[in-house]
Amino acid sequence: MRRRPVALIALTALVVAGCGDSNSPTAGPSTVPSSSVPTTEEPTSEPSEQPSSPEPTPTHTLTETPSETPTEGCIDQKLQSLTLREQAAQLIMTGIDASGMTSAQKAVVQQKSGSVFLMGSSGSLAHTRSAMSAVNTAGTVKGIKPLIAADQEGGQIQRLKGPGFDRIPAATVQGTWSSSKLTAQAQLWGGQLKQAGVTVDLAPVADVVPNSLKSQNAPIGQLNREYGDTPADAARGVQAFVQGMRKAGIATSVKHFPGLGRVRGNTDFSSGVVDNVTVRDDSYLQPFADGIKAGASMVMISTVTYTKIDPNNRAIFSPTVIQGMVRGDLGWHGVVITDDVGAAAEVASVPAGARATRFVAAGGDIVINAKAGLTATMVDALVGKARQDQSFAAKLASSVRRVLTLKQDQGLVNCG
């Protein structure tokens, strides 16, 4: 019988419901200069990874057994009102300029993307609020507003830092504070996001970086993004941050499951990044479990391959990771989101459309795409596969339901 860490055992029964410096265009582990990202489309050949044996889907999944509550009735109504293409668009989170959409980005948001995340440098809080109002106007479809997300971790990873936004210390500093202080500060920072029209903070980092690997760990340790070098210390910081943001009305995403703390390479710059240490019952998963328990809104999946969990698939394409571990072991029934799969070097060899379809097929929901020009390709691929495969179409609908439920929780769905 598989043994679970204590935190995971306690959490299985619950049904509750990434990144660079200010110039980074991605929501991934660190900075990718836009000039370093090829603008040509990826090859259309299938990637070498082979699907692993799918894990059984928990029979009590909330989104597949809707209740008769008013909320569920609203979600049913909205889901049925959306065309297949509009449903697929709800699963893409496209990168836009934090200072305001370009005309090309606006066209994507209007037609093809259900959510956005902010890239580049921001202006003041007041300017950001005006820019996000324009995003809501462009991105609202049939009474459904877009999620607007930012990487607002602190330290080198703070997207919004113009006048009106406090400068946030790095997680390594936040982790030295008392839980009460960190929760209070996170509530303050979350309040500023709320005023600016941002609804999601793509944080906190739940990765644990062992002290012995800190200087070698490019995506987390070298950027001071971890709350502690033990699972217990990291979990305490993650919980406090999530609770503060939740009090401010901001959705959060614990990341990057099942952890980037024991890799060397940065998936924004490198391909073939592998974790040969982490196992399915690893104690380093505790911060993710505790973050969910504290009220996190999403779980972000890394693009790394974990050879002791699923050697044949990157985590974002692994049913074992998403269905087996996140939805099964952790008992998570809410939104599962990718790390960036638009500009990241790690997935450059995978056709853009397949990045979206393979993630949804594995049990995931929202695809983060830093390259707005690829959004249409991803939506087309989701629509095409759903038309050809009834099983996939059902998974897509379940994913849309989870996204709409999250949006309802954030006040972004109008059922009037």
Q: In the chain, how long is the greatest CA-to-CA distance?
A: 56
Phi, psi dihedral angles at 384 (to 5 degrees)? -60, -45
Burial of 104 from C-beta contacts in 10 A (0-12 / 13-18 / 19+): exposed
* pLDDT > 70: percent of the chain: 83
Tens of pLDDT along 86-143? 999 999 999 999 999 999 999 999 988 999 999 998 999 999 999 999 999 999 999 9
Which distant-in-sequence residues (6+ apart) come within 8 Å of 407 by Cβ? Answer: 144, 145, 147, 413
Say whether pLDDT at 68 is over 60. no
State the pTM of this model: 0.85
* Amino acid type, 397: A
Tens of pLDDT along 240-275? 999 999 999 999 999 999 999 999 998 988 899 999
Tens of pLDDT along 221-243? 999 999 999 999 999 999 999 99
User: HSE on the CB side for 244, CA within 13 Å?
Assistant: 27
Which CATH number does the domain 6-28+52-409 belong to among 3.20.20.300, 2.40.50.140, 3.40.50.720, 3.40.190.10? 3.20.20.300
Phi, psi dihedral angles at 169 (to 5 degrees)? -65, 160
Q: What is the pLDDT of residue 4?
A: 42
What average pLDDT does the structure give for the chain? 87
What residues does each domain of the chain span? 6-28+52-409
Tens of pLDDT along 278-307? 999 999 999 999 999 999 999 999 999 999
Question: Where residue 59 falls among pLDDT bands split at 50, 70, 90?
Answer: very low
DSSP 126-163: HHHHHHHHHHHHHH-BTTBPPEEEE-EEETTEES--ST
Q: What is the pLDDT of residue 53?
A: 40
Q: Which has the higher per-residue pLDDT, 9 or 415?
A: 415
